[in-house]
């Protein structure tokens, strides 16, 4: 039986957008009808035309923000009110009891296990694992091969680096950065940047727009 594809817009071009585009095309559910970017010097992406949105533009099609930077994704979502679908690559696993927020993308080989909750405009990147009963707030990016053990809470905007591990039953604050390969064994405060095994705080992020 043939299923009609739904037209959507891809907002943002770059390396991350290439993977998002692959995820979309793997589903045979959505068709990218238009590609947008704020940089007016970019006119082509993957052989397609790139358009540049006006500040007060009203969007009638659903949009996926295909930008890896959490801060930028939040700014765009607040600037332009629009609907966003959920994109799950055909080779990802998402438990039937998990919930995924609008605009989030689950990359190939990623796992979201039982009763976990993923917020809006999140990225669960290639081969990342979110174990059971986790709570991942909006605009979080969990990078490739990172492992979030069971019952972990991650607040808004935090970036989990590639290959990082968070032990079970801890909390990671908002807009924190967990360095690549870090092993997080205790709670992390808001805005903290942590690295190493075991992870230690080396500085704090400053995000004025929040």
pLDDT tens, residue by residue, 40-78: 999 999 999 999 987 666 788 899 999 999 999 999 999
Segments forming the whole domain that contains residue 73 = 6-79
Phi, psi of 70 (to 5 degrees): -65, -40
CATH classification at residue 46 = 3.40.50.20
Tell me: do 100 and 174 sit in the same domain.
yes
How far, in Å, CA of 110 to CA of 125, rounded? 6
**Helix, strand, coil % over all residues of the chain, rounded to 5:** 10, 30, 60
Tell me: do 144 and 65 sit in the same domain.
no
Tell me: do 152 and 184 sit in the same domain.
yes
How far, in Å, CA of 115 to CA of 155, rounded? 17
Residue with tokens 């993308």: 105
| Residue 5 DSSP label | P
C-alpha dist (Å) from residue 143 to 64, 160, 210: 18, 6, 22
Buried b (16+ CB within 10 A) or exposed e, 123-145: bbbbbbbbbbbbbbbbbbbbbbb
Question: pLDDT of 139-161, one tens digit each?
Answer: 999 999 999 999 999 999 999 99
Quote the pLDDT of residue 1: 36
Q: Which residue has the higher pLDDT, 5 or 180?
A: 180
Tell me: do 102 and 141 sit in the same domain.
yes
Tell me: do 39 and 119 sit in the same domain.
no
Beta strand extents in 37-110 (DSSP E only):
44-45, 48-51, 63-65, 87-88, 93-94, 99-100, 105-106
C-alpha dist (Å) from residue 21 to 14, 101, 142, 157, 171: 11, 19, 18, 22, 32
Tell me: do 187 and 153 sit in the same domain.
yes
- Nearest Cα residue to 166 out of 190, 187, 140: 187
Quote the pLDDT of residue 54: 78
CATH classification at residue 185 = 2.160.10.10
Tell me: do 126 and 162 sit in the same domain.
yes
Domain's final residue, options 79, 98, 118: 79
Question: pLDDT of 66-118, one tens digit each?
Answer: 999 999 999 999 988 789 999 999 999 999 999 999 999 999 999 999 999 99
**0.85 cut: is pTM over it?**
yes
197: pLDDT strictly greater than 90: yes
How far, in Å, CA of 137 to CA of 156, rounded? 5
Q: Work out how many domains the chain is built from and give that number.
A: 2
Say what percent of the chain tops pLDDT 90: 87
Band (210; pLDDT cuts 50, 70, 90)? low
Q: Which residue has the higher pLDDT, 2 or 24?
A: 24
166: pLDDT strictly greater than 70: yes
202 part of a folded domain? no
Catalytic-residue membership of 141: no
Q: Which of 16, 80, 121, 132 is catalytic?
A: 132
């Amino acid at each position: 039986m043939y299923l009609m594809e739904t037209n959507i817009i891809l907002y943002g071009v770059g390396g991350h957008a290439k993977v998002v585009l692959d995820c979309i095309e793997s589903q045979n559910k959505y068709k990218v009808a238009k590609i947008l970017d704020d940089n007016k010097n970019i006119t082509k992406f993957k052989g397609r035309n790139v358009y540049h949105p006006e500040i007060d533009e009203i969007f009638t099609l659903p949009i996926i923000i295909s930008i890896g930077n959490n801060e930028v994704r939040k700014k765009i979502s607040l600037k332009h009110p629009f609907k966003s679908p959920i994109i799950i690559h055909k080779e990802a696993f998402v438990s039937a009891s998990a919930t995924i927020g609008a605009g989030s993308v689950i990359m190939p080989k990623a796992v979201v296990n039982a009763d976990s909750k993923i917020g809006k405009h999140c990225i669960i990147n290639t081969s990342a694992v979110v174990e059971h009963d986790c709570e991942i707030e909006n605009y979080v990016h969990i990078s490739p091969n990172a492992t979030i053990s069971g019952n972990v809470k991650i607040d808004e905007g935090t970036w989990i680096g590639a290959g990082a591990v968070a032990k079970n039953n801890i909390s990671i604050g908002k807009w924190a950065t967990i360095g690549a390969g870090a092993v997080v064994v205790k709670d992390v405060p808001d805005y903290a940047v942590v690295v190493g095994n075991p992870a230690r705080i080396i500085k704090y992020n400053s995000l004025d727009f929040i």
